[in-house]
Structure 1
Amino acid sequence: MLKKLNLLAVGIKAALLTGAVSGSAVMASDSGEAKKVERIQVTGSKIKRFNLTSPTPVTVISGVELENQGITNVNDLLAEMPQATVGLSPETTTNYIFSSGLNTTDLRGLGSERTLVLVNGRRFVPGSVGGTAVDLNNIPTSMVARIEIATGGAAAVYGADAVAGVVNIITKKSMDGIEVDVSTIRPEQSGGEENFFSITGGMEGDKLSFIASLNYTENKSYTQLSRDFMRTPVNSYLNPANTSGEDGIPNRVVLGQPTALAYYSEGGDFFTQGGFDDNAFNNHHYTFDENGNVRAFDYGLGRIPNPGVGNPSRHYIQGEGQQGDGVFGHGYKDYFQTPLERVIASAYATYQLHDEHALTFDFTYSNTEATSESSPAFFRHTIRRDNAYMKDDMAKLLDDNGLTSVTLRQANEHLWGDRTYGQEREVFRTSIGAEGFLNDDWGYSAYVQYGRIEQDTLWEGEVLTQNQINAIDAVEYNGEIVCADRDAQGNVIGALAGCTPFNTMGATSATQEQIDYIGTTATRFAKHDQVVFAVTVDGSLFELPAGYVAAAFTAEHRRESVTTTPSENMEKGLIFGNSSLAMNGEIEVDELSTEISIPLIEGMRFAQDLTLETAFRYMDYSVTGADDAWKLALNWGVTDDLRVRLNRSKSVRAPNLGDLFTPNSKTFDSGRKDICRADSITASGSEFKDNVIRNCAADNMPTGWMPTDEWLAGGSLPGYIRGNESLENEVSNDHTIGVIYTPSFVDGLDFTLDYWSFEIDGAIEYFGRDAVQYCYESNSLDNPFCGNVVRNEQTRNIDYFIDKPINAAQFARKGFDFESAYRTDIFNGSLAVKFTATYLTEATENSTGRSDDLRVNLGEMESPRIKARLSSTYAHDDSAYVLTVNYRHSTVESNTWTLEDNNYNDIPSYTTFDFMYKTYLLDELQLRVGINNLLDKAPPRNPFAYDDGEFFDVKGRRISLGAKYTF
């Protein structure tokens, strides 16, 4: 038997070669003697191959690179790759309810749901109930052998969701001995510390080989104001010098007060003591002292006037918290990172039944806990003149201005505390499989897999809305202060039974009885089950003059189901801002796929080899029906040094369970806008104005129609998020053209250059209240958006909007990937350099499918033209020095920017440096010390970017220390 290939060397050698040595086949040599030849399985194909050439672009990341970066989460490394960006992370989910702490990757910026994450070539249970995106928190880094990123035709091989590509995480399969690893990361500024521990052990026997691992990680939270660049923020404000939209003077400019840490809008913010103003008070702003006495509002550093109609004045509060009145200031109780704690237990085992048959087993259990924090519950209270707690000064103020009530804006910070969303996720996944050979030419792999995620959510600091309304409407009745029971005219006719009255004017505390009546918690239990049965056979069909025609045939059945159970107060919509109904949904899919690799030419001039790669997958979904995905590719070895690959494919993404079956869940949209308002139509300069006039009239809004005053004063507009069982699969048309060059005259050097293109039609998109605009701007009311707008039959006010997904959007991403690796011996050691870059040539989206709504995102902050990563490792004796450089090109905030908008549209380029030193003090003991963000690079000093942890490093310089001991 030929010696097994060194897989690590293969992965490093070309950055396009991958694969687990998963079997051998018997081939005849020129002498007629049978020899065993290893077959390599490459990500992007289920055919085990006799050469080392990937049919699709594949980037390989060794598991050692996680160690070299001091990284304990797979997503932290993927986020640095030019092909990917962050989907969700602890930095981007600090205010998310059901997603706090999730770590998902996003290839090509097309969305995490369009990136298929596999573990050893198999699907993994979703990270969030109802979704498909995998939470990389559940992947133990100590078990990662390598990560392979493949694009082009992946859906035909692996199924739906692989629109942007596949991230295939290959785990270690066995080891001899025990390995203990501990590490910690300590930022230079307080908060954001990370601690990691793992113990991994295994055995390699004649029959049984296995590996098992236990990982523990703790990521601590840190506030925005813990970082120095956030304590001197980059704010902007409306430019007083601006006179019109055509004077060449920007409407907004950067505020030149770096010590101003908070700002508030008069008439729009909520204050801990309660605050109010009204035109009847000549716009004077009032609040209360701790004793409930009315006093003038404290503006801190004073107000900066904003010109223009409808633009509120701003005032600024100095200090790192609150020196002055109010809440919700800059950085106030905002977090850069959600606290996250996780434990992962995993194992993989192989039992050799026979020389040609083996059983496999793998198991993963993960428990993660994360907590996100939001602002305290905030309200607009109606305080009537007959309120029993109203003091004389407040009563006189109302009487002098002819008022019988006032609207009090208040955040319940001191009363019920901040709202927190605690998440506990438990993931269980296991599979049992068999693999081996059917004969000399054909092998097989079969498995059954079960996975479940259970997600418990606990809301704290919540308020029973109606109870609070009842408690605040306190009056004196029969000599006692009670909660008012009023008739239709507002007259007090008695006391509400079981109600505890409460004085909110200037309140800084509440009694336990009041807390029990008004405050509450809420819960939701959710689970998502995944069952997969699959079998693949692969081998050689027959021989052509250029070689063997290889094929793989796969049959797969998958069932996914989801159940959510909210608490009673959630289900009945009794608490502030949140409601959710129980959800039950299930989807099943049967899939058949075929791959065939046909060698066309071999051994000719300018055609060392030419292979046609084909794949076809048939999918039958229980909800969306039948669909297919396919791939046609050419793999052309021009010379020994030069190879060309071309790929044309169709990919699909099926709607997930959340898209399909989410029940009504309450949401809100700020402001009271309605495109059918007479004043809105009059001021409109839209090219769709005629459509709006015609459609609003057709929807029973008479000429000159305006919403009622009550509706206009109603605050945020309510809506409901819900699923859509009428959704269809998304379709993506993909192209890749690649060149691989390994110059024979320079040993250890290789280059790859790939052009790629993704065009997605019928993309699933949520529109929120934008559905109102798209409904009336369309050619008629017969469009997919009008069904998401619900109006009152009498007043024609919008009662609520429905935020359900629609197959209406289009996305396009195109660009080039460049990768190069060089290895050489130097100074009695070895140097390995790897450079990876993506150059984006097109990034567009169209939410409605209308040509006029096409938006060009290329060069904006989310879609920089260039992203690059350079990693260099110098190894000498028992030590290694690793330097990594990450770069993102300069961008703009908006491609539609004009000088009239602002004076800060440009966002500069951003580069960070990481360094790691590793050495072995003993053969068994490795020590590591590194510095991430070596130069302490803060986000760009731009109002759009300075606090953005999605694209920039907000943690700052930090030291990484680690040790690994092998028994």
Structure 2
Amino acid sequence: MTLKTTQLREAIKFALAVGATAAIGTTAVFAQDTAAAQTPQDATTLDRVQVTGSRIRAVNAETTAPVLTIGRAELENTGLTSVGDVLFNIAASDGGALRNITTSTNGSDGTQNISLRGLGATRTLVLVNGRRWLTQGDGTVDLNTIPIAVVERIEVLKDGASAIYGSDAIAGVINVITRTNFEGAEARAYMGQYAQGDGFQQAYDFTLGASTDRVNAVVSISYTDQEPVFAGDREISSVPVFGAGDIVSGGAFGSGFPLYGNFLRCQPGTRTTNPNTGFSACTTAGTGGATTLIPGRPGTAAGDFRPFVSFTTDNSGTSDRYNFAPQNYLLQPIERFNVYGQGTLRLTDTVNANVQATYVRRDSTQQLAQVPLSLNITGSQGPQWAFAPTAGNVFNPFDVDISSFGFRSDFAGPRRPSYVNDNSAVTAWLDGSFELAGRYMNWDVGASFLDSEFTQSGSGYINLFNLRRALGDSRRNPTTGALECLDAAGQVIRGCVPFNLFSGPDLGLAAGVISQAEYDAMVNYVTYRQVSTFQNSTNDYFANLAGEIVELPAGMLGFAVGVEHRATDYFNQPDALVAGGGSSDNFTEPTNGSIESDEVYAELNIPVLADIPFAQLLEVNLAARYSDYTASGLFNGATVTPEIGADTATKIGIKWQLNDQVLLRGTWSESFRAPSVTDLFAGGGESFPQALDPCASNAGRFAALNAEQQARCLASGVPAGGYNQLNTQIRSLVGGNPNLQPENGTTRTFGIVYSPSWITGLDFTLDYYNIRLENALSFRGSQSVLNECFRELNELFCGFVTRDATGNVLNLRQTQFNLDQGEVEGYDFTVQYRMPETAYGAFAFKWDNTYQTKNDLYGTVGEYNGAPTWRLRSNLSVDWQLGDFEANWTARYYSGLDEDCSGFAGLFEAGFTQMELCSNYDTTTFSALRDAENRIGATTYHDVQVGWQAPWNAKVMVGARNVFGHEPPRVINSFAHSFDGAYDLPEGAFYYMQYVQKF
């Protein structure tokens, strides 16, 4: 555990205390920077603005749907350096999106995205300045590609908006607005780190803006660097499951593939030919059961080995399991460089030429424990793993074939995939305004060219083709003493180096079994550097016209119409050995596909009543969008052109302003999400789930089928009477499905905005939301695919099962289908209050809440099923400003959860650990064990920041996130590290300081 203190942490703690004390004692006049303090403007001079959720520009920015706005000042108060982290902390975020904290996304590439309402990141649309942004193959946006230095505000539309923006806007829309009217220069420096002295972050940016009568331009350059935090440096993540045994071995959940090996031997004469692989296989379990090398022994004789010890119940650390957790990252190292520019040239009094361009390079690294070599000559782990050391291997001390071998490849080091992500985006457009028959009109026409290129390379991987040869028959040349591999005819295999798996992690170097030169040759022969490439590009062409049609008694009838053509191409070329089935990484097929859409939309804003009792304003907003999709790509080695078809989304919204104090609003909308390129065409990635084939004769499964079901089996290649399923781990490929159709959602919202006249500056907002999904994409595993085809006779699934001539499942694809339907429901409640200025300064309060009552798509609200489904998320912030001093305090609340613990209760009651993992259980009955739960307590984090406006036009800010060092709750069903990545890192606060200089 890292327990050191740091100068940065202590300096920031001191500055927080001194800054707060000095601010309280200051009596200087507070200079407000808010709209309320500015000179009021005549209403007729207000500009028309376009807000998120509508294409129609209007003076009144209040819409029919709820919109959360995060201004520039709020962004700075968070002390965060990425748009992704800011959005992850809003109350409407469900905590299920990708982050750089890898407790639930071990192996992630550094991507950050956002999920709202518990519906997943693919159902949340992200825009920049109202237009689509760089996406990945699944249609999501990596929020790291949006530099926070150029963000003016972020608008979060909490409503379905496909009628306005098209596909993906089911859960809501994130619209990031950039700083278009910035003048002057601004430089910023940021540094921070965790209380444990790790995870150091630094960020620097420089922004320059200028305006003349004809030109407006903004350019920004930014750089961000984040250093890692290792799982081994936090107690809760130092073992696979915290509390499940000793740290040395990883306890009951440590890996059975240890540094000193875990293997079974064949008895002489007990071999047969495996019909699936052609390799000789053992017909018995062998002698002695699981065996491992005694540490410190050379591994050259049978006496150097002893039975493998799987568990200890006394936390003594004598188990032979391997603790892989400490080598993994909790927080990934990431480096980002960004150049952003935008400008407007006034061509005439009514026409402008505009351009927006950005380049983002992201370098990130992941680290995983050493490759576990899972060799088994039965081929149960896949054909590429169907080998093990032979009796004729020069290093085999038993002189019999090994049937299976589990070995942690420490010689290759940890797996370290590195990712280089180059993103470029250019949007160019013309816009302007004109009058037609006395009616105001505005228009724009342009194109966006978005490209994301991605390279993954890494070390620590094993070439299985070479390892297979190196573990076969071999010898030391009787003349030269050189190690040589031999083929079946006893001839030397040129270039092959025999490999020693029997002498521990250093391959026998320390024991003198091999020399340094032989060690180097062995390692170089079986290891390799992996390289894969990805690219996603989108061309988007658009034209929009909005304005006024006719004046109605209550006001002008506004409209917007537009067309859009969007084409997305994606490919993924895995590493050659991965695609060829010769890598220690699971076999993966390449992906290649494209999707095009042609879209047209129309929107009307109809004023119905105005300036009458109980109807200061009543408006109805109508919108519809028609989208037509075509797609083409590779699937299972052939080019396919799926029929996605067309979809129409509609929306109706009502805004009823009763008086100056009360506004009622409601919407009913249809939204949809078209399948992405990877949904349709993603190449299959290898997996080995347990599955029982209904067509197999084992346990009378085939005989139990009715005549129609048996006929389906026979038609797929199963012989009469069924076949004998030898292996229940069926090799499967997880990938795309070209038969997918768009998923559809219906959203209803109803809300009230109350601004009481008796308290100036106070606003209450309460909104109800209900989202129903139909034809939602739902993943089906191997067992479900087999059952649906051969038991339920659902032809939709049968094309995903391929058999060999004997009836064995040769290839099974796990994928998504349009099968699910569900409902998400809840309430958003926000209170904002800006107090009148007092002698003690100006205070502003904001309390934002999301309370979810139902989510039957991804589990029950209030339960943890691999991701949190909080009932309540709440953020309370207090801003204070007095003269040149300011301070901000924020409390972030996450309600408690329950998680199923039935799989752990009996095990740990048996005495495998001194710490009970299940908080609620009763050992008196079996059903109580089955129903055992673990209570995940409610969690509150406190963030604080103080700032000082220096007289040389600079600002200094120091702060801390999770200032009291509150620990995340222990979770036992998370992917890794015993807490969920939706919570802050354990063991201490994150301290930071920031300096901003304006010129």
TM-score (norm 2): 0.81
- The correspondence for 1:368, drawn from 362, 372, 382, is 362
In structure 1, runs of 5+ residues without a counterpart are 1-6, 14-23, 30-34, 237-254, 305-314, 399-403, 487-491, 847-854
2:366 is paired with a residue whose SS is strand
Superposition pairs for residues 839-878 of structure 1, below 5 Å? 839-845=851-857, 856-860=860-864, 862-878=868-884
- Structure 1 residue matching 2:368: 3-state secondary structure: strand
Whether the aligned pair in 2 keeps the contact of 1:95 and 1:374 (CA below 8 Å) is no
Supply the RMSD in Å over aligned alpha carbons: 3.3
Alignment pair present for 1:728 and 2:728: no
Relative distance call for 1:942 and 1:723 in structure 2 (3 A) is closer
Match in the other structure for 1:699 = 713
CA shift, 1:564, in A, is 3.3
Match for residue 274 of structure 1 among 244, 261, 280: 261
Q: Secondary structure at the match of 2:893?
A: strand
SS in 1 for 2:250: strand
Contact 2:290 2:307 in 1 (8 A): no
Residue in 2 that maps onto 1:836: 848
Q: For 2:76 and 2:626, locate their aligned partners in 1 and report how far apart those are by CA, in whole Å.
A: 40
Q: Does structure 2 retain, via aligned residues, the 8 Å contact 1:153–1:647?
A: no
Which residue of structure 1 aligns with residue 153 of structure 2?
146
Which of 352, 363, 388 is the equivalent residue of 1:358? Answer: 352
2:982 equivalent among 951, 957, 963: 951
Deviates more, 1:641-650 or 1:474-483: 474-483
Q: Secondary structure at the match of 2:465?
A: helix
Q: SS at the partner of 1:557?
A: strand
The match for 1:814 among 820, 825, 829 is 825
Aligned residue for 2:930, secondary structure, equals coil
2:423 corresponding residue in structure 1: 427
Residue of structure 2 equivalent to 1:883: 889
> SS state of the match for residue 473, structure 1?
coil
- 1:791–1:660 Cα change, 3 Å: same
Give the conservation status (yes or no) of the 8 Å contact 1:697–1:703.
no
- Could you tell me whether the CA contact under 8 Å between 1:562 and 1:657 is conserved in 2? yes
- Matched to 1:334, the amino acid is N
The answer as to whether partners of 2:99 and 2:112 remain within 8 angstroms in 1 is yes
Deviation at 1:387, TM superposition (A): 2.7
When residues 233 and 367 of structure 1 are mapped into structure 2, their CA distance, relative to the original with a 3 A threshold, is: closer
- Which residue pairs with 1:383 in the alignment? 389
User: What secondary structure, in the 3-state scheme, does the structure 1 residue paired with 2:327 have?
Assistant: coil
Q: How does 1:392-411 map to 2 (within 5 A)?
A: 394-395=398-399, 404-411=401-408
Q: 1:299 to 1:563 in 2, by over 3 A?
A: closer
Q: Which structure has the highest strand share of the two? A: 1
More RCO (CA 8 Å, sep 6+): 2
How far 1:410 moved relative to its partner? 0.9
What residue in structure 2 maps to residue 921 of structure 1? Answer: 950
CA distance in 1, matches of 2:734, 2:443: 45
Instruction: Please state how far the C-alpha of 1:705 moved relative to its aligned partner.
Output: 6.4
CA deviation after TM superposition for structure 1 residue 176, in Å: 2.0
Distance 1:407 1:522, change over 3 A: same
Relative to structure 1, is the Cα distance of residues 375 and 671 closer, same or farther in structure 2, using a 3 angstrom cutoff? farther
Distance in 1 between residues matched to 2:492 and 2:33, nearest whole Å: 78
State the match for 1:790 in structure 2: 802
Aligned counterparts, 1:464-483, within 5 A: 464-476=463-475, 482-483=484-485
2:874/2:892 contact within 8 Å kept:
yes
TM-superposed CA distance for 1:211, in Å, is: 1.1
1:508-535, CA deviations, whole angstroms, 9 ceiling, x for partnerless residues? 1463333343221221222221111111
Alignment-derived partner of residue 433 in structure 2: 437
Larger CA deviation: 279-288 vs 689-698: 689-698
Q: How far does residue 916 in structure 1 lie from its aligned partner after superposition? A: 0.5
Instruction: Work out whether 1:930 is the aligned partner of 2:930.
Output: no
Q: For 2:584, what is the secondary structure of its paired residue? A: coil
The corresponding residue for 2:686 is 667
- How do 1:636-647 residues align onto structure 2 when only pairs under 5 Å count? 636-647=656-667
* SS at 1:805 equivalent: strand
Aligned position for 1:412: 409
* Contact 1:175/1:203, CA 8 A, preserved across alignment: yes
* Counterpart-to-counterpart distance in 1, 2:256 and 2:204: 45
- Whether the aligned pair in 2 keeps the contact of 1:277 and 1:286 (CA below 8 Å) is no
Cα deviation, 1:855-902, whole Å, max 9, x if unaligned, reads: 545543521111111111011111111001111111111499963236
Mapping for residues 430-579 of structure 1, pairs under 5 Å = 430-439=426-435, 440-476=439-475, 482-486=484-488, 493-507=490-504, 508-509=506-507, 511-579=519-587
1:765 to 754, 778, 788: 778
Asked whether the 8 Å contact 1:675–1:692 carries over to 2, the reply is: no
Q: Secondary structure at the match of 1:190?
A: coil
How far the C-alpha of 1:411 sits from its partner, in A, is 1.7
Task: Quote how far apart the aligned CAs of 1:285 are.
Answer: 3.6
TM-score, normalised via structure 1 length: 0.84
Q: Which residue of 2 aligns with 1:966?
A: 998
Structure 2 unaligned residues grouped into runs of 5+: 1-31, 266-284, 376-386, 508-517, 632-643, 904-926
Q: Determine helix, strand or coil for the equivalent of 1:648.
A: strand
8 Å CA contact 1:93, 1:338 repeated in 2: no
Q: Structure 2 CA distance, aligned partners of 1:765 and 1:12?
A: 52
- Following superposition, the deviation at residue 42 of structure 1 comes to 1.3
Structure 2 CA distance for partners of 1:593 and 1:272, relative to 1, 3 Å = same
Distance 2:37 2:467 in 1: 64
Separation of aligned partners in 2, 1:475 and 1:37: 86
| Corresponding residue for residue 311 of structure 1 | none
The residue number in structure 1 matching 2:810 is 799
State which of 638, 641, 647 in structure 2 corresponds to 1:627: 647
* Contact preservation (8 Å) 2:241, 2:253: no
Q: Distance in 2 between matches of 1:581 and 1:282?
A: 40
Partner of 1:162, secondary structure, is coil
Query: Residues of 2 paired with 1:134 and 1:173: CA distance?
Result: 22
Contact residue 970 and residue 979 of structure 2 kept, 8 A = no
Aligned to 1:359, the other structure's residue is in SS state strand
The equivalent residue for 2:189 is: 182
Post-superposition offset of 1:259? 5.9
> d(CA) in 1 for partners of 2:826 and 2:562?
32
Q: Is the 8 A contact 1:870 1:885 kept in 2?
A: yes
Which amino acid counterpart does residue 501 of structure 1 have in structure 2? Answer: P
The letter of the residue matching 2:501 is: T
Which of 945-954 and 543-552 deviates more? 945-954
Compared CA separation, residues 769 and 192, structure 1 to 2 (3 A): farther
Q: State the partner residue of 1:125.
A: 134
Shift in Å at residue 499 of structure 1?
A: 2.4
Task: Check whether the contact 1:93–1:100 (CA below 8 A) recurs between aligned residues.
Answer: no
Structure 1 residue 273: Cα displacement: 2.5
Q: 3-state DSSP class of the match of 1:375? A: coil
2:175 pairs with one of 154, 163, 168: 168
1:226 CA displacement: 0.8
Q: Is the 8 A contact 1:261 1:331 kept in 2?
A: no
SS in 2 for 1:67: helix
User: More deviation in 689-698 or 527-536?
Assistant: 689-698
Inter-partner Cα distance in structure 2 for 1:412 and 1:612:
66
Report the secondary structure of 1:40's partner residue. coil
Rounded to whole Å, the distance in 2 between the matches of 1:607 and 1:203 is 44
Task: State how far apart, in whole Å, the 1-side matches of 2:544 and 2:159 are.
Answer: 21
